Chains A and B, each alone.
Chain A
Amino acid sequence: MIRDLKGIYIIWLRDIKRFFRDKPRLITGITRPSLYLFILGSGLSSAFGMFGGRGGDWYMDFVYPGILGMIVLFTSLFSAFSIVWDREFGFLKEILVAPISRTSIVVGKALSGSTISLFQGIILLIFAPLLHIKLNFPMIIKICLLILLTSFALTSLGILIASRMKSMQGFNMIMNFLVMPMFFLSGAMFPLKELPKWLEYLVNLNPLSYSIDALRYVMLEDRTFLAHPFFINILVISIFAVVMITLAIFVFNLTD
């Protein structure tokens, strides 16, 4: 047991060291969220301001949790890329032949993915005052916990896919195939109410919708646009996380 914890810690530590050492990756890690936030967020807000209704500031408040969710989605799924990378560049063999359990490798990777996602999320939170988004300390804690839970689930999904992938191209292709629909069907950009039936079904199948809904619950005072009760959101994400990590561990254990 202690041995497994040690294994989890060292796998996690290495991924984190790599992330902060790899300067270009770190820079994109910081600039990408801000780009989405300032350009997409501000652009869409002014569009909504022009078209009337409740106005642009309202939309910024609304889309901010969505962009947060999007960044978590991208970062988590792609952080599992490290497994494919390690396989390609040989380091995975060093890990696989070591006397640590496959389970601790998967958990370590899932935790490092969550940590990196949290880091990205915090960068977005730092920009919040610039966009007139009001946050207080309890809110920030809740947001961080939500990000951790969501990214743990999504990284596990990434690991599940990565452990069956032999090539980097293959992994990238599947990921892009997965990321875009998950993003569009998450309600990051639009409210989940009064959607056409077919769209509503798809949105409800997407675990990310529940995370973004939960983030909105925490951040927005106006709750007219929420789709589900908070506890349902948390329940769905938690179940998703447990199922994903279990599957990832199971499949990764099958690899020789």
Chain B
Amino acid sequence: MNTIISVKKLTKRFKNLTAVNEVSFNVNEGEIFGFLGPNGAGKTTTIDMLCTLLSPTSGEAVLNGYDVTKNRNKVRQCIGLVFQDPSLDDWLTAKENLEFHAMVYNIERKIAKKRIDEVLEIVELKDRKNDLVLNFSGGMKRRLEIARGLIHYPKVLFLDEPTLGLDPQTRNRVWEYIRDLKEKENITIFLTTHYMDEAENCDRIAIIDVGKIIAMDTPINLKKRVRGDIITVETSDNRSLNEELKKKKVKNIIFYNNKIQFEVYDSEKFIPKFIKESKEEIISISARKPTLDDVFLSLTGKKIREETVSGLDRMRKRFKMGRMRR
């Protein structure tokens, strides 16, 4: 398989913060490659460097044979982008947004016309072609952005948190489109997410935390790192339980939210014995199969936080409602 993105010791430092710290990885042609990590882990910064919006402090990144600092325009021509925040012009129609894109990417008018219909077909927005984007729902906008990212036949499509802020149903639809693309367009997809369940759709995942890649593998292999089952208990005295657990054969004891979580080989046999032997009063106990969440937890000792609506988004909504403009 050919390597389409090759990154070596890529680093980005802002004043006194190292957002991305000597990150190295390769992405193969035609795969869906995911960057998984909490907010502020350095995912967007990495994407911004790969798509020439930020210059790296050190290290190198080569995309489709072009260096991202030396050959910016060449790189730009062969990538498509869907940003974390919306980046459509609300006052243009869907078609006009796509036409704008086709023109700045220097696509011949005739080809562009055909291509616009083609990409709108993929994301099922053909009948809304001539509507102002202003009247689109969040999910429709995201789909239109994906369509836009595809117009100029990019080799790599970057999706920065493609499903952020979408309802679960729309999220699934977006994922269907993404998986479809791989077959229809024969394109490499590089995406970031902090949703564990979404990351499972990727061919390979790099888990990133505080600017460093801490694990990189297929989702199945990553989950194999967590052995057996995950048990979560809440007791009257977690501290003394911790001491007890240390004597037993359990792995990866982690405290969070007044609860203790650990891994055992066989939860069905472990639980009855555990309840019988426990000196502390057990408030709750549960067992389940490992998810990528647990992989992250066992690697970093913390959970990936859920996204909340940021202040900026709130302001944006207010502006749109108040129609403030000049």
| Bound-complex Cα distance A93 to B81 (A) | 10
- B316 touches A (CB below 8 Å): yes
| Bound-complex Cα distance A217 to B89 (A) | 42
Q: Interface on chain B toward A: helix, strand, loop, or mixed SS?
A: loop
Q: Given A17-B96, A97-B52: A90 and B104 within 8 A (CB)?
A: no
A194 to chain B, nearest CB (A): 37
Residue pair A99, B53 in contact (C-beta under 8 Å): no
Q: Report, as a range, how many residues of chain B touch the other chain.
A: 20 to 34
B71 to chain A, nearest CB (A): 11
Q: Which of B89, B96, B323 has the most CB of A within 10 A?
A: B89
A174 to chain B, nearest CB (A): 14
Q: Given A17-B91, A17-B92, A18-B92: A96 and B323 within 8 A (CB)?
A: no
| Bound-complex Cα distance A213 to B101 (A) | 43
Name B35-80 residues within 8 Å CB distance of A: 51-55, 73-74, 76-77, 79
Q: Mark A207-245, 1 if CB is under 8 A from B, else 0.
A: 000000000000000000000000000000000000000
Residue pair A14, B92 in contact (C-beta under 8 Å): yes
Residue pair A22, B76 in contact (C-beta under 8 Å): no
A146 to chain B, nearest CB (A): 24
- B275 touches A (CB below 8 Å): no
A117 to chain B, nearest CB (A): 14
Q: Point out the residues of chain A lying under 8 angstroms from B101, CB to CB.
A: 94, 98
Q: Which of B55, B86, B88, B91 has the most CB of A within 10 A?
A: B91
Residue pair A10, B104 in contact (C-beta under 8 Å): yes
Q: Point out the residues of chain A lying under 8 angstroms from B105, CB to CB.
A: 98-99
- A64 touches B (CB below 8 Å): no
Q: Point out the residues of chain B lying under 8 angstroms from A97, CB to CB.
A: 51-53, 76, 79, 81
- A128 touches B (CB below 8 Å): no
| Bound-complex Cα distance A99 to B148 (A) | 15
Residue pair B91, A93 in contact (C-beta under 8 Å): no
Q: Given A24-B323, A89-B316: A95 and B83 within 8 A (CB)?
A: no
The 5 A-B residue pairs with the shortest CB-CB distance, nearest first, are A90-B87, A98-B104, A99-B76, A10-B103, A99-B73
Q: Mind listing 23 A-B residue pairs with CB under 8 Å?
A: A14-B100, A17-B96, A18-B92, A21-B91, A22-B325, A24-B325, A25-B325, A25-B326, A81-B326, A88-B316, A90-B86, A91-B87, A91-B88, A93-B87, A94-B87, A95-B104, A96-B53, A98-B105, A99-B74, A99-B77, A99-B104, A100-B104, A256-B55
